[in-house]
Amino acid sequence: MDFEKSILCIGAGYVGGPTMVVIANKCPQYRVTVVDINQDKVDAWNSENIPIYEPGLDKLVKKVRDKNLFFSTEIDKGIKAADIIFVSVNTPTKNYGQGAGKAADLQYWERTARQILANSGRDKIIVEKSTLPVRTAEAMGRILHETENGVRFEVLSNPEFLAEGTAIKDLENPDRVLIGSKDTESGIKARKEIVEIYANWVPMDRIIESNVWSAELSKLTANAFLAQRISSINSISALCEKTEADIDEVAYAIGTDSRIGPKFLKSSVGFGGSCFKKDILNLVYICQNYGLDEVADYWESVVKINEWQERRFVRNMLLNMFNTVAGKRIALLGFAFKANTGDTRESPAITITRELFEEHAEVVVSDPKALENARIDLKDVEDSIIFEDDPYKASEGAHAIAILTEWELYKDLDYGRIIKGMVQPAFIFDGRNILDHKGLFSMGFNVFAIGKAPLTHI
Ligand code: UDX
Ligand code: ADP
């Protein structure tokens, strides 16, 4: 069959994978190929056990795989055949040299740009999909314009706004799709080509066109604003614990103000995920580079409050468990950075596990989907941590339970059964405020939640 367009995505991760699966499903007239350097990952995408847990993804993959969706490691071949190339490789925070700890590490990106350059015999549209510092498209453009054979590249920014755990819903029914290009004739022409792809299922009034830098900066700003709401409510959670105000009541009350709105006001043990911290630090780095130190400090404080909230959680555990957890078994329920994903990148659970381990606690980590990643995150202390997917077994003999991820299943556990197997007095620390605190208290638990007065028998 002849396809109308040949689309390539470089990088088969959390962003590239689901995005291309949805494009292939919505656009049977396009041939979509996803390539990655990681052979194991590509093999997994081609198998029964796809490498990402995301509700609904599995079914969509099966519908189109080997029809108009292909996963492969043949990157050069893929580049040659493609009209449009989405780049979705990782852009971690740099951990060396200038900008270490803040700036994005663009080595994967640059390598990709050079590979595109080396394999392109005709004009192509390059779309940046990974979150990147502002002006990356320009840098990419500079590399790509080294061409001597007259091949032209248009570099566009089409940032991804999907959230993990709801990726398919977000992709199928996005609030908006943002496409940035140069304001030149060829830039606008390329932009229209990308608009055409999304127009297959996204209403035109939700497709926003802008210049490249606005698109890039909008992505960082959206994540910074979302994270800032969480840090704001988390900062107030500490005040609630001192004053006996209830954080959920405060969040509800302010969220009904239509100017504020109800979303992203759920106080928690802290935000995680691959984007928030990285993007804010990127923003901070850019501001510092332009001499905007006050702006940089303002945004950096969002990350600092988050780190403080994580540490505060552990401090509360210690304080309330008679100032020591040494030798005590502590069951951590949830390791993923949020529910409905196996992803653990920047999960607060990593810091909390490590801090409890430093305090010589016997830490049991439990999660329905993230134990494999947890083992990787805790590789250096793996032998000292217990990994247990059954929450009942994890809690057996524990002094305390801490809820770190808001998995539905943790709401419905038989806590009456659990408390019987625990060391008394039994403690529960609800880092996601998802449990019935009064009910647990009446069962005999000492209950500590975020931004709420403790319920204790001691
Ligand atoms: C985020 C953005 O939402 C998405 O648009 C962007 O493209 C990528 O980054 P993601 O990291 O997948 O998506 O998850 P998100 O739902 O934003 O949650 C991030 C973290 O904040 C999680 O750890 C979550 O538990 C926490 N969170 C979220 C809260 O603590 N409280 C809230 O009210 C909302
Ligand atoms: P994200 O959450 O942004 O999608 P991931 O780390 O999940 O990030 O995915 C990025 C993917 O990009 C990984 O699977 C990685 O193997 C792949 N990758 C990195 N560099 C290259 C490259 N030069 N060519 C092809 N794939 C790459």
The string of pLDDT tens digits covering residues 325-343 is: 999 999 999 999 999 999 9
Mean per-residue pLDDT for 107-115?
Answer: 88
Per-residue pLDDT band at 105 (split at 50, 70, 90): confident
Residue nearest to atom 5 of ligand 2 (CA): 13
Ligand 2 pocket mutation pick from 15, 36, 131, 220 by most atoms within 8 angstroms of CB: 36
Residue nearest to atom 34 of ligand 1 (CA): 264
Structural Rg of the chain based on CA atoms: 24
The C-alpha angle 405, 411, 414, rounded to 5 degrees, equals 125
Residue nearest to atom 11 of ligand 2 (CA): 11
Q: 38 C-alpha to center of ligand 2: Å?
A: 8
Question: d(Cα 313, Cα 329) in Å, to the nearest integer?
Answer: 17
Q: 15 C-alpha to center of ligand 2: Å?
A: 9
425-445 pLDDT, tens per residue? 999 999 999 999 999 999 999
> If we measure between CA atoms, which residue out of 127, 12, 7 comes closest to residue 61?
12
Domains of the chain are: 5-202 (3.40.50.720), 211-458 (3.40.50.720)
What pLDDT is attached to residue 140? 79
Per-residue pLDDT band at 142 (split at 50, 70, 90): confident
Query: Does the beta carbon of 344 lie inside 6 Å of ligand 2?
Result: no
DSSP of 31-71: EEEEE-S-HHHHHHHTSSS-SS--TTHHHHHHHHBTTTEEE
Ligand with smallest separation from the Cα of 110: 2
Mean per-residue pLDDT for 143-168?
Answer: 88
The catalytic residue among 9, 27, 240, 275 is 275
Per-residue pLDDT band at 1 (split at 50, 70, 90): low
Q: 271 C-alpha to center of ligand 1: Å?
A: 7
Kindly tell me if the per-residue pLDDT of 253 is higher than 70: yes
Q: 399 C-alpha to center of ligand 2: Å?
A: 41
Ligand with smallest separation from the Cα of 221: 1
**Residue with structure tokens 């606690």?**
361
378-431 pLDDT, tens per residue? 999 999 999 999 999 999 999 999 999 999 999 999 999 999 999 999 999 999
What pLDDT is attached to residue 128? 93
Nearest ligand 1 atom to alpha carbon 14? 12
The answer to whether residue 275 is catalytic is yes
Ligand with smallest separation from the Cα of 302: 1
222-246 pLDDT, tens per residue? 999 999 999 999 999 999 999 989 9
Q: 226 C-alpha to center of ligand 1: Å?
A: 8
What pLDDT is attached to residue 96? 87
Strand pairing partners for 15? Answer: none
User: C-alpha distances in angstroms, 166 versus 27, 91, 191, 300?
Assistant: 21, 22, 27, 27
What are the pocket residues of ligand 1 if the criterion is a CB atom closer than 6 Å to any ligand atom?
160-164, 223, 226, 230, 264-266, 268, 271-273, 275-276, 337-338
Query: What is the torsional sign of CA 26, 32, 38, 44?
Result: positive
Ligand with smallest separation from the Cα of 403: 1
Q: 318 C-alpha to center of ligand 2: Å?
A: 39
Query: Does the beta carbon of 299 lie inside 6 Å of ligand 2?
Result: no
Ligand 1 pocket mutation pick from 247, 250, 271 by most atoms within 8 angstroms of CB: 271
Ligand with smallest separation from the Cα of 227: 1
Mean per-residue pLDDT for 280-288?
Answer: 94
117-139 pLDDT, tens per residue? 999 989 999 999 877 777 777 77
Kindly tell me if the per-residue pLDDT of 150 is higher than 90: no
What pLDDT is attached to residue 92? 81
What pLDDT is attached to residue 337? 98
Nearest ligand 2 atom to alpha carbon 41? 14
Ligand 1 pocket mutation pick from 337, 403, 433 by most atoms within 8 angstroms of CB: 337
Residue nearest to atom 1 of ligand 1 (CA): 163
What pLDDT is attached to residue 149? 75
22-54 pLDDT, tens per residue? 999 999 999 999 999 999 999 999 999 999 999
Residues 109 and 95: beta-carbon distance below 8 Å: no
Residue nearest to atom 16 of ligand 2 (CA): 38
**Residue with structure tokens 């954080």?**
247
Q: 108 C-alpha to center of ligand 2: Å?
A: 8
Q: Side by side, which strands form the sheet with 153-157?
A: 69-72, 30-35, 5-10, 84-87, 124-128, 153-157, 177-181, 207-211
Secondary structure of 200-222 as H, E, C letters: CCCCHHHEEEEEHHHHHHHHHHH
- Could you tell me what percent of the chain has a pLDDT over 70? 99
* Amino acid identity at 60: L
Question: d(Cα 305, Cα 300) in Å, to the nearest integer?
Answer: 9
Kindly tell me if the per-residue pLDDT of 99 is higher than 90: no
Ligand 1 pocket mutation pick from 173, 176, 226 by most atoms within 8 angstroms of CB: 226
Numbers of helices and strands, H then E, in the chain: 18, 14
Question: d(Cα 78, Cα 6) in Å, to the nearest integer?
Answer: 9
Q: 18 C-alpha to center of ligand 2: Å?
A: 13
Residue nearest to atom 9 of ligand 2 (CA): 13
> If we measure between CA atoms, which residue out of 383, 390, 453 comes closest to residue 240?
453
What pLDDT is attached to residue 339? 97
Under DSSP, is residue 10 helix (H, G, I), strand (E, B) or coil?
A: strand
